[in-house]
């Protein structure tokens, strides 16, 4: 019997293959004849990262988070963000504690100044789907894969930086992410900055509708903003 992970296809899989009837992505399984899952895939599906407690400092309360909903950064096989350690019991349920959830600004940093490879970036949008199994490990800081929900986006760092700079310049001019993504700029704002937005718009326009621009938008920050 092979030791490949049914989902991600990596070797060394030791956990039994256990997926809920609601799991529908079987056609994407990378080792469809295997009857095993690796620890990393198994953890948010059946294992220690399925449900987690998160301390909401601002709300002064514990919230339950699904492990599948996390945006993650791995260095080789080590999860470095967020941090999952210890455990907490609340309302009679004991789960591991997750802390240091990444902000959009941090994710932006991963993309513009990636860590030394190998690293793996997984960015969740809906929090509803298992996306970790499909993530591909990056081997190069200047050209690397990013798992954005169910899509693998190959990022050329210099290109990404150029689009992000223009996207953020448009945000600084007062345009919303929705306006920039659609190209339907509000006429009041347009009149105020015309024609200074054009150089930025010309860079963004060819990417409109692409998942790469969705990734830019997901992490883009107004320069004066210090968080999401």
Q: Which stretch binds Zn ion (CB under 5 A): 17-25, 33-41, 105-113, 169-177?
A: 33-41
CA–CA separation, 175 and 179 (whole Å): 6
Q: Which stretch binds Zn ion (CB under 5 A): 38-46, 148-156, 190-198, 204-212?
A: 38-46
Strand, coil or helix: 55: strand
Q: Which tokens in the block code for residue 193?
A: 């900055």
Nearer to Zn ion, 54 or 134 (CB): 134
HSE value, Cβ hemisphere, 13 Å, CA-based, for 154: 3
Per DSSP, the three-state class of 218 is: helix
Contacting range for Zn ion; rule: CB under 5 A; set: 22-30, 37-45, 69-77, 116-124: 37-45
Q: Which two tokens stand for residue 181?
A: 């993504």
Choose which of 38, 135, 166, 181 interacts with Zn ion (CB under 5 A): 38
Is 41 a binding residue for Zn ion by CB under 5 A? The answer is yes
Strands of 93-99's sheet in order across: 61-66, 51-56, 93-99, 83-90
Residues 4, 8, 144, 147: which binds Zn ion (CB under 5 A)?
A: 8
Instruction: Please say which residue, 4 or 95, places its beta carbon nearer to Zn ion.
Output: 4
Part in contact with Zn ion (CB under 5 A); list of ranges 31-39, 75-83, 105-113, 140-148: 31-39
- Out of 5, 107, 163, 212, the only residue in the binding site for Zn ion (CB under 5 A) is 5
Is the CB of 7 or the CB of 164 nearer to Zn ion?
7
Cβ atoms within 10 A of the Cβ of 16, count?
11
Rounded CA-CA distance 105/94 in Å is 31
28 vs 94, which CB is nearer to Zn ion? 28
**CA distances (Å), 170 to each of 104, 132, 147, 157, 181, in order?**
18, 32, 26, 20, 11
79 interacts with Zn ion by CB under 5 A: no
Phi, psi at 84, each rounded to 5°:
-115, 110
Q: Cβ 31 to Zn ion, closest distance in Å?
A: 9
Residue bearing tokens 């909401």: 56
Give least dist CB 13 to Zn ion, A.
6
Q: How far apart are CA 72 and CA 107, in angstroms?
A: 9
Measured from the CB atom, the residue of 15 and 218 that comes closer to Zn ion is 15
Rank residues 43 and 219 by Cβ distance to Zn ion and give the closer one. Answer: 43
Stretch that binds Zn ion, among 8-16, 67-75, 144-152, 172-180 (CB under 5 A): 8-16
Residue numbers of the site for Zn ion (CB under 5 A)? 5, 7-8, 38, 41
């Amino acid at each position: 019997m092979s030791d490949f992970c049914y989902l991600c296809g990596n070797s060394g899989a030791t956990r039994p293959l256990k997926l809920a009837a609601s799991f529908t992505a079987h056609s994407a399984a990378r080792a469809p004849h295997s009857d095993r899952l690796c620890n990393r895939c198994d953890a948010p599906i059946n294992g220690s990262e399925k449900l987690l407690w998160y301390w909401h400092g601002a709300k002064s309360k514990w919230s339950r988070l699904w492990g599948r909903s996390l945006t993650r950064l791995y260095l080789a096989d080590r999860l470095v963000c967020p941090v999952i350690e210890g455990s907490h019991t609340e309302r009679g349920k004991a789960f591991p504690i997750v802390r240091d959830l990444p902000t959009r600004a941090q994710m932006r940093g991963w993309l513009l100044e990636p860590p030394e490879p190998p690293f793996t970036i997984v960015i969740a949008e809906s929090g509803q789907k298992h996306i970790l199994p499909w993530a591909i490990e990056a081997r190069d800081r200047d050209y690397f894969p990013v798992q954005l929900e169910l899509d693998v986006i190959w990022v050329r760092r210099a290109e990404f930086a150029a689009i992000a700079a223009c996207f953020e310049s448009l945000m600084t001019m007062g345009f919303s992410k929705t306006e920039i993504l659609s190209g339907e700029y509000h006429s009041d704002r347009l009149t105020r900055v015309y024609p200074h937005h054009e150089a930025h718009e010309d860079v963004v326009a060819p990417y409109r509708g692409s998942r790469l621009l969705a990734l830019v938008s997901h992490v883009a920050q107004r320069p004066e903003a210090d968080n999401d």
